Amino acid sequence: MDAGDLDPANLRRLIDALSAERHLAEEKFRAVVEAVPNGIVMVDGCGKIALVNRATEALFGYTRQELMGQPVEMLVPPAERPAHPHYRARFMAAPQARPMGSGRDLMGRRKDGTTFPVEIGLSPLETAEGPRVVATVIDISKRKRAEAALAEALEQQKMLMRELSHRVANGFQIISSLLNWQRRAVRDEAAAEALEATARRVNGMALVHRRLYLNENSPGAQDMAAYLDGLCEDLRGAFIADTAACSLAFEGAGGEGISTDKAVAVGLLATELVTNALKYARGAGEAVRIVLRWEDLADGHRLTVSDDGMGLPEDFDPTKSSGLGMLVVRTQLQQLGGELTTDRTPPGACFIATLPPLR
């Protein structure tokens, strides 16, 4: 550009062209801002409102004339206003695009004084007038109502499931009592033993369901270790009269997120293996210790019931045993998709149920 190009007329045309270009850019920016369905509020370095869109007017009930130049705190509930300048200053000290109030429930305040839950995103913006902060504001009232309705429905489901588990457990308890009453009336020793074994098994089923009823996570995902630990406590109270002669302990951790139906199957499996150990592990006059163990594996889970008692007969095969106890064990394993092995290493016996991932 030579000196002639800088005469007043050329300079004026250049300024006009730049002004027109800037005006066009501003118009495009405003058109984009107005087209956005969410509220947009631009704030200057002093916290004064420099720009809003139509969605903001509809959201808060103010006209833009009422908002322009006012402190942004007018859109915040009174109780939260004193802390707001601190949050704003902290953002301006290290400006970067991010959600506002991460981990906090944010509320907006309308012109009529009512409040509503909001989700706000913050973005820094450099302008010719200095740094600005652009906030996008979304009314999440519908989402919050849906979340509250879902939480209420889940709580009602939990209450129904607890009631169902309670009733099922009570039903099993009644059946167990009837079987015990019938056993006392039967004179045939073999029949009496069969009735006693059935009553014990039914009582174990009642304990499995009662423990679910007591579990605060029911009917949602179960914490298997906590569930089995509680089940051990129930089994001790129901089946071990002499704790010096026989003990039952739980070891292990993990098993979070297991569905209730899978937890019932695991509980029935554990109960059957434990009651079998209580029945067969102890020799005459010998104390026995039984351990129920739960482990999470990389590709599933492992449930182990071991004892330091008499051990297994040489010809015992859990896959072929005709006893009702092993039949129940095999049925639960089939439902869970697992397999059962035994460890005959002295002392005692060890049943190992290897299970796939349970969800």
Q: pLDDT value at position 236? A: 85
pLDDT-derived band at 161, boundaries 50, 70, 90:
low
Q: Is 189 a residue whose pLDDT tops 90?
A: no
Distance CA 30, CA 52 (A): 9
Whether residue 86 contacts residue 108, with contact meaning beta carbons closer than 8 Å, is answered with no
Q: Which two tokens stand for residue 38?
A: 């969410």
13-27, 37-51, 183-197, 225-239: least confidently modelled range? 13-27
Whether residue 314 contacts residue 247, with contact meaning beta carbons closer than 8 Å, is answered with no
**Secondary structure (H, E, C), 102-159:** CCCCEEEECCCCCEEEEEEEEEEEEECCEEEEEEEEEECHHHHHHHHHHHHHHHHHHH
Q: pLDDT value at position 312? A: 83
Q: pLDDT value at position 22? A: 64
Distance CA 28, CA 26 (A): 5
65-74, 76-85, 284-293, 297-306: least confidently modelled range? 284-293
Mean of pLDDT over the chain: 82
Which domains are delineated in the chain?
36-139 (3.30.450.20), 152-355 (3.30.565.10)
Q: pLDDT value at position 140? A: 93
Q: Is 52 a residue whose pLDDT tops 80?
A: yes
pLDDT per residue as tens digits for the range 107-135: 999 999 999 999 999 999 888 788 999 99
pLDDT per residue as tens digits for the range 272-305: 899 888 887 776 557 888 999 999 998 899 999 9
358 or 71: which leads in pLDDT: 71
Q: Is 218 a residue whose pLDDT tops 60?
A: no
Q: Is 75 a residue whose pLDDT tops 90?
A: yes
Q: Give percent above pLDDT 70 in the chain.
A: 82
Q: Give percent above pLDDT 90 in the chain.
A: 31
Which residues, including other chains, have CB under 8 Å from residue 69's CB and lie 6 or more apart? 48, 49, 50
User: Mean pLDDT across the stretch 56-61?
Assistant: 94
**Secondary structure (H, E, C), the chain:** CCHHHHCHHHHHHHHHHHHHHHHHHHHHHHHHHHHCCCEEEEECCCCEEEEECHHHHHHHCCCHHHHCCCEHHHHCCHHHCCCHHHHHHHHHHCCCCEECCCCCCEEEECCCCCEEEEEEEEEEEEECCEEEEEEEEEECHHHHHHHHHHHHHHHHHHHHHHHHHHHHHHHHHHHHHHHHHHHHHCCCHHHHHHHHHHHHHHHHHHHHHHHHHHCCCCCCCECHHHHHHHHHHHHHHHHCCCCCCEEEEEEECCCCCECHHHHHHHHHHHHHHHHHHHHHCCCCCCCEEEEEEEEEECCEEEEEEEECCCCCCCCCCCCCCCCHHHHHHHHHHHHHCCEEEEECCCCCCEEEEEECCCC
Which residues, including other chains, have CB under 8 Å from residue 254's CB and lie 6 or more apart? 224, 225, 294, 295, 296, 301
Q: Any idea what the Cα angle at residue 104 is, between residues 33 and 34, rounded to 5°?
A: 5
pLDDT-derived band at 352, boundaries 50, 70, 90:
very high
Q: pLDDT value at position 21? A: 64
Q: pLDDT value at position 294? A: 94
